[in-house]
Structure 1
Amino acid sequence: MFEFPYTYRYSPLSLGSDIRLLRLMPHKDGTAPIQCQLFDYSLQDSGKRTHLYEALSYVWGGSDKLRSISIDKYNLPVTVNFHTALSRLRDRFIERIIWIDAICINQVDLKELSLQVQLMAKIYSKANRVIIWLREMEPDSEQVFEDIRLSANEESTEHSKKEINQQAILNLLQRPWFQRIWVLQEVAAARHVVIMCGSVEIDRYAFCLGLKSLKLSYTASPELQTLPSVTYLIERAGLRSKCTTNLPERFSLNIRCLPELIDMFHTRKASDVHDKVYALLDMSSDEPDEAGLRPDYEVSWKELFQKLIKFALGKDVSVETSDRTQRAVIKSKGSILGQVSSVRSDDRQNVNIKFTSKNTAWNLGDKMEWTLQASAKSIRERDIICLLQGASKPTIIRLYRDHFAIIVIAVTPLKKSGSFEQLELSKSIKYFPRDFPLVWDWNSSWESRKIEKDQRIGCL
């Protein structure tokens, strides 16, 4: 670990202040040491929609190599990627006011960290703009951005569009920023977004429109499967309402219920596994206090994971988790509703379902098509639709030799076709005849496991 003399020490936030902001001092020499100041700031409304600071959305980078910046004449170690971002953001003549989590939050104070995380959505929504930092340019990065701009331009000729290097664009979209969990909330809350790679910038509208025009296929790589959901969040920046929930101190984007967000994004990466839950709370329509899910980094991962599962499936399920893994073993009673007969995937999943005649409590007819949001685990033919006792929504599971794997924990169709009537399943189904040994694995490598060939509804 690199040693820095006279290391900066944080003071508690002053009374009446919500956050700290970073003042990035200008310098005419781009290679000069980076000098900054930290000051306390209140997010209380001042009659303006936004405050005059920017917020950075980025990936911290590895801590094996560190650089030093100056904060109020004291040294502070930062990662190489963070140092590079500050170097690019620094102006020659004018100071910039920026909110950056790595510096503006005292990361070693777990109580402060827990409180600041609860303000994250509000911080990004109040910023004048959010800057997505995709790291330094690679040899083809500048051309990639020009190709995306060209694709967004309706006046471009078909010939020029054919010359676009789509593989280079896909490579850009596999950069670490697109795989992180926290960036979802950061761009979802933003009012204006700019994407920055080295010295090149592109507006979020041109970026998203260009990707749409290219009609890229994201099915070849597991890392890209939920990318349409990410670009959708970027595209809608500034259009999404920012509201206060029933709790006056809670700020929420109210996008989807928490189990749905978990289904979509639980395989994304986080430095701290707690963030796979906490990063989604202020995007959800649920109240975290009701499930005991308010951010608290002093709570063990084992306890947090158990609380989340009981919130999604009901308090009566049996759950075994561990602080060392992202894998839960669940036991529950349930009722089989049907089986997936076919799936068609693009940026969403169109699932045809054949309902089993064994279940007479839920009269849905023989077949139905559901349009579902893209999920972290892809739904496949012969996956099973069931309702677990205590759950309010169906679950999609997959049969293995000695257990069922959870694919989608809370099914909420965006569109439905067939003889469907909106029903409260927990009230309409009273009989839960089957014991389900379930495994919910959050590891991104889960899809590479071998699937049992005897996965068919007839064996159930």
Structure 2
Amino acid sequence: MPVFNQYYYEPLETKDVLRLVALDPATDERDPLSCTIFQCRRSAQRQEYSAISNTWDEQTPSQTLEIRCDDDISYVRITANVDALLRDFRAREKPCYLWVDAICLDQTNGEEKSQQIPLMGRIYGEAKDVRIWLGPDDRVTAKVFTLLRLLSQVLDVQPQWHMAERVVFHLNEVFCRKDGVVGLKSLLNFFSRSWFSRRWVVQEAMLAREAIVHCGRYSIALLSISLAATRFLSLDVASYPVNMAASLREPTTKRGILELLWYFHEAECRDPKDRIAALLGLVPNEKRFPLDYTAHWTELYRQVASLAFGLNDRAINFQLLRVSAPCPIQEMPSIRRGSLTGQSLGNGPYLSFLTYETQTPTSGILPHLNGGNIRFSPLTEASHGSIGIPQSAGNGVTESPT
């Protein structure tokens, strides 16, 4: 692709504007992909669109998408994954209107991303539907989707082993085996697809009016997958992806950012800033905060910590209670690095990424409520995933990440 044909992103006119893709129709799947990109004001009457939820999968752009603008033709590079989903969603006769982050966001413009990322929740919530792309199908996809539909229709029963019996029955029924092993492995392999482990997809799925999961030629409602995952948990063989799929039916409107960070602490992302940014759309309006995506990730983490203290977030107080025993500061355990993956002090969820320093407590109450000084220490790249790493307790005791 010649350099002079590279598509140039026109700056967004206002903060209330987003870009949409009008994907040209084609009767043959092998036809080249082409589209137009236009800006649309969210507050005005706008074109209905489908928002795409997919993962980058560490792919480098290897395909091209033709973009028509008046009499000019230019190109953007896209990954093989985006190329495949566009071909699958392309209509035969009419343009298909889509929001695809890899195309609709100028990935090289940090200022634009700071402006658009806080709107992600609304972009997905206001779409007519969200289409989730898991990748190509394989030889067992049809059976797995049949199994998911059957499990989603199983009535909730107690005790747990009754539910487990029904799950095993359907595993054997669909895969024509008596031991359930083949069906079990096939279902676990399905949930091992990268979409179920990624962080951004959580709000994309939970805020959707309607969500449809596509795997190559096959599709199924996300609600069916979530219900099936809930039933599958009765076998006690689940992993985070299965738990995540099951949780997509649960309301999150009352959860603050700290609760969300812990609830989805195993969800993966490439950029440290996205550990927070990817969940911001699920935070209630009264608890949201401005996001500067151009700032270093350590500054963003400090903002979250300070905000939580300012809002008197109960989640923080519950965790501070775990370490507020009336003992000299030098007797307190060293606070070491934890990466939002379950490592925490006293088995609590939040001290793994939020630490603090106080004056030596004089009573058993919370130190920071008894004249203590809250101070957030500088972060280092080695402590990726931590909100605060105390450098010194002020009494000769040094705290250092390991």
Normalised by the size of structure 1, how large is the TM-score?
0.62
Is contact 2:16-2:42 (8 Å) kept?
A: yes
Question: Alignment identity in percent?
Answer: 25
Is 1:305 the counterpart of 2:315 in the alignment? no
SS in 2 for 1:26: coil
Quote the residue 2:76 is aligned against.
Answer: 76
Aligned counterparts of 2:15 and 2:369: Cα–Cα separation in 1: 52
In structure 2, the CA distance between the partners of 1:8 and 1:157, relative to structure 1 (3 Å rule), is: closer
Note the aligned Cα RMSD (angstroms): 3.9
Aligned counterparts of 2:353 and 2:115: Cα–Cα separation in 1: 31
Aligned counterparts of 1:13 and 1:337: Cα–Cα separation in 2: 48
For residue 206 of structure 2, what is the amino acid of its counterpart? A
Shift of 1:264: 2.2
Quote the residue 2:187 is aligned against.
Answer: 169
Is 1:231 the counterpart of 2:230 in the alignment? no
Is contact 2:197-2:240 (8 Å) kept?
A: no
Quote the residue 1:365 is aligned against.
Answer: none
Quote the residue 2:21 is aligned against.
Answer: 22
Aligned length: 332
Aligned counterparts of 2:383 and 2:193: Cα–Cα separation in 1: 24
- For residues 200-241 of structure 1, what are the alpha-carbon distances to aligned partners after superposition, in whole Å with 9 as ceiling and x for unaligned? 100122222222233355666xxx3364244322x35xxx6x
Is 1:213 the counterpart of 2:231 in the alignment? yes
SS in 1 for 2:136: coil
Normalised by the size of structure 2, how large is the TM-score?
0.70
Structure 2 regions of 5+ residues with no counterpart? 156-165, 176-182, 312-318, 328-339, 356-364, 387-402
Structure 1 regions of 5+ residues with no counterpart? 241-252, 316-332, 339-355, 360-374, 386-394, 398-405, 411-424, 445-460
Aligned counterparts of 2:266 and 2:202: Cα–Cα separation in 1: 13
Which deviates more from structure 2 when the two are superposed, residues 85-94 or residues 139-148? 139-148
Quote the residue 1:116 is aligned against.
Answer: 116
For residue 28 of structure 1, what is the amino acid of its counterpart? T
For residue 377 of structure 1, what is the amino acid of its counterpart? G
- For residues 426-460 of structure 1, what are the alpha-carbon distances to aligned partners after superposition, in whole Å with 9 as ceiling and x for unaligned? 5997498xxxx9x996669xxxxxxxxxxxxxxxx
Shift of 1:267: 3.8
For residue 64 of structure 1, what is the amino acid of its counterpart? T
In structure 2, the CA distance between the partners of 1:149 and 1:4, relative to structure 1 (3 Å rule), is: farther
Quote the residue 1:328 is aligned against.
Answer: none
Quote the residue 1:56 is aligned against.
Answer: 52
In structure 2, the CA distance between the partners of 1:273 and 1:257, relative to structure 1 (3 Å rule), is: same
Is contact 1:22-1:98 (8 Å) kept?
A: yes
Larger relative helix fraction:
2
SS in 2 for 1:19: strand
Quote the residue 1:384 is aligned against.
Answer: 346
Quote the residue 2:330 is aligned against.
Answer: none
Quote the residue 1:265 is aligned against.
Answer: 264
Quote the residue 2:198 is aligned against.
Answer: 180
Aligned counterparts of 2:235 and 2:384: Cα–Cα separation in 1: 24
SS in 2 for 1:41: strand
Which deviates more from structure 2 when the two are superposed, residues 127-136 or residues 265-274? 265-274
Is contact 1:26-1:93 (8 Å) kept?
A: yes
Aligned counterparts of 1:61 and 1:278: Cα–Cα separation in 2: 19
In structure 2, the CA distance between the partners of 1:88 and 1:116, relative to structure 1 (3 Å rule), is: same
In structure 2, the CA distance between the partners of 1:15 and 1:205, relative to structure 1 (3 Å rule), is: closer
Quote the residue 1:11 is aligned against.
Answer: 10
Is contact 1:194-1:201 (8 Å) kept?
A: yes
Quote the residue 1:198 is aligned against.
Answer: 216
For residue 78 of structure 2, what is the amino acid of its counterpart? V
Aligned counterparts of 2:27 and 2:50: Cα–Cα separation in 1: 21
Is 1:126 the counterpart of 2:144 in the alignment? no
Aligned counterparts of 1:4 and 1:90: Cα–Cα separation in 2: 27
Aligned counterparts of 2:367 and 2:87: Cα–Cα separation in 1: 59
In structure 2, the CA distance between the partners of 1:11 and 1:52, relative to structure 1 (3 Å rule), is: same
Is contact 1:4-1:75 (8 Å) kept?
A: no
Quote the residue 1:329 is aligned against.
Answer: none
Shift of 1:45: 5.9
Aligned counterparts of 2:15 and 2:275: Cα–Cα separation in 1: 30
Is contact 1:377-1:408 (8 Å) kept?
A: no
Aligned counterparts of 2:341 and 2:263: Cα–Cα separation in 1: 5
Is contact 1:254-1:285 (8 Å) kept?
A: yes
Aligned counterparts of 1:129 and 1:13: Cα–Cα separation in 2: 24
Quote the residue 1:102 is aligned against.
Answer: 102
